[in-house]
Structure 1
Amino acid sequence: MNVFGQGGKRDGQPAFAPPSVVHDPRGHSDDESWIDGSLQQPRSPRHPLLQALASTFAQPLLLGRRLAAFVATPPGVMTAVTLVVLLAIGAAGFSAAQSSATRQQQLRTLIAATEPVSFAAHNLYTSLSAADTAATTGFANPQGDDRLSRGRYLASLQRAAGAAVEAASGLPQTGSEDAVAAIRQIESQLPIYSGLVETARANARAGNPVGSAYLGEANEMMRQDILPAAATLFQLTAGEVATQQTALTEPQWVPLSGQLAALIVLVMAQIWLWRVTRRRLNKGLLTATVCMGFALLWTAGASGVLWYAGERGFTEAASPLATLTEARIVAQQARTDETLALISREVSASGSDGFSDATDTVARALDHTEQATAHNSPNPAIAAARAHLSAWEDAHRQIVAAEQRGDFAAAAAIALPQNVESAPAVILTPDTIDSRLLLDAPVDTTRAQQTTAAESYAQLDADLARLITGARSVMQDYLTGGLAANTLLSTIVTIATIAAMLAVALGMRARLQEYV
């Protein structure tokens, strides 16, 4: 039986009838429902951290891609080169200006604070030794104790007290615990020393032999305790001056290398620009090169002047100052031993050997000072000091000869000051403290040959004091000259750097406008 009817139709249905279509309420047919289902499938949520990173870096990454695309173009390359040149110039100029300003401030501190503290320690050292020498001389010659020797002793103590205060006030800036301890030791023991000296003087005036024992105890305290502390203080402060001077006078290698690198970058930029634009010179870059070259030369010149000041200052001032100070202390102690021998009425070979060692030290110090200042005009104080040293040696030999034959009266006449009644009274004023009392003798150097050991020693001490003052003045002059060379360096480098950066910007701007 044919299941299909006529025309290929199933019974009851038309031929080739499409399948029935069911419409949903939204108007979509069942044939498209699978698409809607796939679109409506839920996606897995992104991690909050990834969302935060995407929202944070999406815009910068986009800008970075755009910037990279711009840099790949000729205007972008030129802009990048401009920024590199500006950065190199700015970094070099800032480094040089900052280094110069810092060094200038440190030089001012060295000149105004550190060096004066060192010289105050020097004054303390020499004043204490001079006080001990004057006290011993006054005890050996009590007739003149109330006039010349007494005045020198009191003036030396006054100078020592003032120098101790000045050094202590400046020590916080140098920052040395050992120096503070030395100051405290001196300040605590100096009243005890002066009390022993006054007790010895009172017993001597009363005719009590025990006075020499008190003087010997005072002298031992000065040499064993007080003077070593003063020497430590002087060495620490002088070492601080030398350290700062060495550090501040070294060439400024970092700023100089930075400025040289900036010049190299400028030259390379001009070569690159010439190859790109076929133009040999760029006015802006050429002007910047001149500005940076000027800044480099000025920095190098200032560094050279400061280095020379440090080298010459150490050779002509710092080193002679240390040797002269030590020579003066040794001479003062030799003079004290010479006087103590009269008081104790003892003659020993060790005393003569000690005197010879002291005079040899003084002679070497004079030779060292003369060699250090050989290129300068001859210093008359050195010749005068040699003459007075020779006269003192002759007088000392006469003293030893008189002591060996037991003629202590003749030895005292040669060793101690004479004509004390005609000696001028000592007035404790700033002028006398700074001139006559500082030198412990008149400043007349024409009398090379003296009749007594006291006069020869006084003149020698005066010559050494003048040489020390001159050495300090030389060092201050060199440091001041170095400071003057660096005074305008920071300002000039800053101006040259700004001018160079403006010139680079203007010079490259003209080339960039060609691409507009």
Structure 2
Amino acid sequence: MEQPGVCVPTQLASARELAPPRTGSRRLSTPRLYWLVAAGLVVLALATGVAALADVRERSALLTDVSEVKAPISVDAQTLYRSLADADATAATAFLSTGGESSDLRTRYLDDIAQASSALTIALRDADDDETARLRVVAEQLPVYTGLIETARSNQRHGVPLGGAYLREASGLMQQTILPAAAGVFDSTHRRLVGEQAAADGFPWPAAFFGVLLAGALLAAQVLVARRSRRTFNLGLVGASGIAVLALLWSFVALGASTGRLETGPGSPAEQVSVLANSGRAALQARANESLTLVARGGGATFETQFVGRMDELIGVDGTSGLLGKALAQAEDDDRAFIEQARAEANQWRTLHLQVRAADDGGDWNKAVELATASGDQALPAVFARLDKALTNALSAGNQQVDRQADGAEGALTGLAAGFVLLTIGLVAAVGLGFRPRIGEYR
């Protein structure tokens, strides 16, 4: 029996009706998910653009530094060493002149000292700490060297036998102190040049990382939107993907062209410059030692040993290897003629030197001096002059090739930085256009 005033429900309430009402959901809503994905894509696009822009600017700065700073510094260091070594060789040769000092040799010596002083001033301006220390050695010892040379000349003019001793002391100072310091400057500047070339030729890892991440994120975003909106394509995201592909292709082509125009490592123009510079060093030192052997009048065995060592370094014992053999193996067709001429002249020089040594060792010092200082196209001085000129031309061609490659590599990057800025802006706008209408559908 029903009791009055008591209400008995005719059916049980469902769990949903009895449960407390929900105030929120742990599941991320679609509009909010779209917002997060869009924001993530924008951040990735900006990060990729910034990384790519930074890489391009760094490469351009390095290439500009190579062509406008490091390569000229390397040339100045080459000029410094060559001028000093040629001054020493010229002074020793001039000392052998039996009829008085040649005005041509005197002029050449003074020109070498002037060029060395000028190159020294320029090199000091752009040198790092280590190079500055070496250049100071050159700056401090060069006046001592020239003073010894002038003392030797004065003694020779007055017939004082001490002239040869002063000359040998001056040459010892040049070859044991000044030239090693100058060679160290060239080696240091050349390493800096090669280092910047290698840095400009490296792979853009940060930009590549963010680029791959962005490409994967764009693909995932399109799949997400397609499943949620039941639309196969989202024009905004398709456009963003197209922009990303365009940026990737442009980067690939531009960086590939830049890298292709900038050779580094063994066989590169920079390596060839180093080999040719060392060839010039060996030739000039050999010339000085050859003259000093005669100046010593029978006491120059040490100088002769050094001459043989420098010639072996230059063309090898067989006359076809050594530094010039290495340079010839690395040279391009346009530059081979200079190196081939230098090698031929070096072999001819060695043959003439044997004649000089035969006369000197046989007791005919005057004949040896005559052979060493004779005039004529086939005489030893003319042969050495052609060798020196061929090496200078080959080295100049190598330096020009380094400049051309740096300019070409930098030119391949023209417009890439500005393009990245515009493409990044376009990509961000495309992402916004792709998600805005989808988010608006839920309002």
TM-score range, shorter chain: 0.7 to 0.9
Q: What does residue range 358-373 of structure 1 map to in structure 2 within 5 Å?
A: 358-363=310-315, 364-373=322-331
Map Cα deviations across residues 460-510 of structure 1 (whole Å, 9 max, x no partner).
Answer: 111111111111111111111221122322111111111111111112222
Greater Rg over alpha carbons, structure? 1
**Aligned to 2:201, which of 222, 243, 249?**
249
Q: Deviation string for 1:236-288 (max 9, x for gaps)?
A: 21122222222222111111221121111111111111111222222211111
Structure-2 separation of matches of 1:265 and 1:93: 15
Distance 2:154 2:301 in 1: 32
Q: Whole-Å Cα distance in 1 between the matches of residues 104 and 384 of structure 2?
A: 15
Q: How far apart in 1 are the matches of 2:309 and 2:165? A: 27
Structure 1 window deviating more from structure 2 (318-327 vs 301-310): it is: 301-310
| Partner SS state of residue 233, structure 2 | coil
* Match status 1:452 vs 2:404: no
Distance in 1 separating the partners of 2:57 and 2:392: 36
- 1:410 deviates by 2.0
Contact 2:293/2:304 (<8 A) preserved: no
- The residue that corresponds to 1:487 in the other structure is 414
Q: Using the alignment, how far apart are the partners of 1:211 and 1:115 within structure 2?
A: 40
Q: Is the 8 A contact 1:392 1:453 kept in 2?
A: yes
Contact 1:70 1:76 in 2 (8 A): no
CA distance in 2, matches of 1:368, 1:307: 25
Q: Following TM superposition, by how much is the alpha carbon of 1:70 offset from its aligned partner in structure 2, in angstroms? A: 11
Matching residue of 1:509: 436
Partner of 2:67: 111
- In structure 2, the residue matched to 1:403 is 360
Q: 1:399 to 1:382 in 2, by over 3 A?
A: same
* 2:194 maps to 1:237: no
* Equivalent residue, structure 2, for 1:308: 260
- Structure 1 residue ranges without an equivalent (≥5): 1-65, 420-449
Output one character per residue of 1:396-431: Cα deviation in whole Å (capped at 9) or x when no partner. 111111112222222122211427xxxxxxxxxxxx
**One-letter code of the match for 2:288?**
T
Is residue 79–residue 119 contact of structure 2 (8 Å, CA) maintained in 1? yes
1:145 aligned to which of 101, 109, 122: 101
Identity across matched positions, percent: 30
Give 1:287's match in structure 2, choosing from 236, 239, 257.
Answer: 239
Shift of 1:353: 4.5
- Whether 1:94 and 2:50 are equivalent positions in the alignment is yes
Give the residue type in structure 1 aligned to 2:59: R
Which of 187, 194, 211 is the equivalent residue of 2:163? 211
Q: Which runs of 4+ in 1 moved over 4 A?
A: 68-71, 347-353
Partner of residue 85, structure 1:
41
- Alignment partner, residue 188 of structure 1: 140
What's the secondary structure of 2:298's corresponding residue? coil
Cα distance per residue 1:11-34 (max 9 Å; x no partner): xxxxxxxxxxxxxxxxxxxxxxxx
In structure 2, distance between residues paired with 1:505 and 1:71: 24
Whole-angstrom CA distance in 2 between matches of 1:483 and 1:202 = 55
Contact (CA 8 Å) 2:77, 2:189: kept in 1 or not? yes
In the alignment, the residues of structure 1 paired with residue 51 and residue 182 of structure 2 have an alpha-carbon distance, to the nearest angstrom, of 42
**Distance (whole Å) between structure 1 residues aligned to residue 302 and residue 218 of structure 2:** 74
Ranges in structure 2 where 5+ consecutive residues have no aligned partner: 1-22, 316-321
* Cα distance, 1:312 vs structure 2: 4.4
Give the aligned partner of residue 13 of structure 1.
none
Aligned residues: 415
Q: Indicate the residue corresponding to 1:159 in structure 2.
A: 115
Give the corresponding residue for 1:274: 226
Shift, 1:92, TM fit: 0.7
Q: CA shift at 1:388, angstroms?
A: 0.8
* Change over 3 Å in CA distance of 1:251–1:510 after alignment to 2: same
- Gap change, CA 1:408 and 1:350, over 3 Å in 2: same
Tell me if the contact between 2:90 and 2:109 (Cα under 8 Å) persists in the aligned partners.
yes
Normalising by structure 1, what TM-score? 0.76
Cα offset, 1:332, TM superposition:
0.9
Verify: 1:131 aligned to 2:87, yes or no: yes
Other-structure match for 1:3? none
Residues 95, 153 of structure 2: 8 Å contact kept: yes
8 Å CA contact retained: 2:64, 2:406: no
Superposed CA RMSD: 2.2
Partner of 1:487, secondary structure, is: coil
Worse-matched range after superposition: 177-186 or 106-115: 106-115
| Residues in 2 aligned to 1:475 and 1:337: alpha-carbon distance in whole angstroms | 32
TM-superposed deviation, 1:511? 2.1
Deviation track 1:424-467 (CA, whole Å, cap 9, x = no partner) reads xxxxxxxxxxxxxxxxxxxxxxxxxx422111111111111111
Tell me the TM-score normalized by structure 2.
Answer: 0.88
Asked whether the equivalents of residues 243 and 423 of structure 2 are also in contact (C-alpha less than 8 Å), the reply is yes
User: Structure 1 residue 329: deviation in Å?
Assistant: 1.1
Letter in 2 for 1:100: V
Equivalent of 1:389, from 337, 346, 367?
A: 346
CA distance in 2 between counterparts of 1:314 and 1:113 reads 23
CA distance in 2, matches of 1:221, 1:249: 41
Deviation at 1:201, TM superposition (A): 0.9
Q: Give the distance between the partners of 2:149 and 2:300, measured in 1 at CA.
A: 25
1:260 alignment partner, one of 209, 212, 220:
212
> 2: distance between equivalents of 1:417 and 1:366?
26
| Contact 1:313 1:474 (8 Å CA) reproduced | no
Check the 8 A contact 2:293/2:301 in 1, yes or no.
no
Which one-letter code corresponds to 1:489 in the other structure?
L
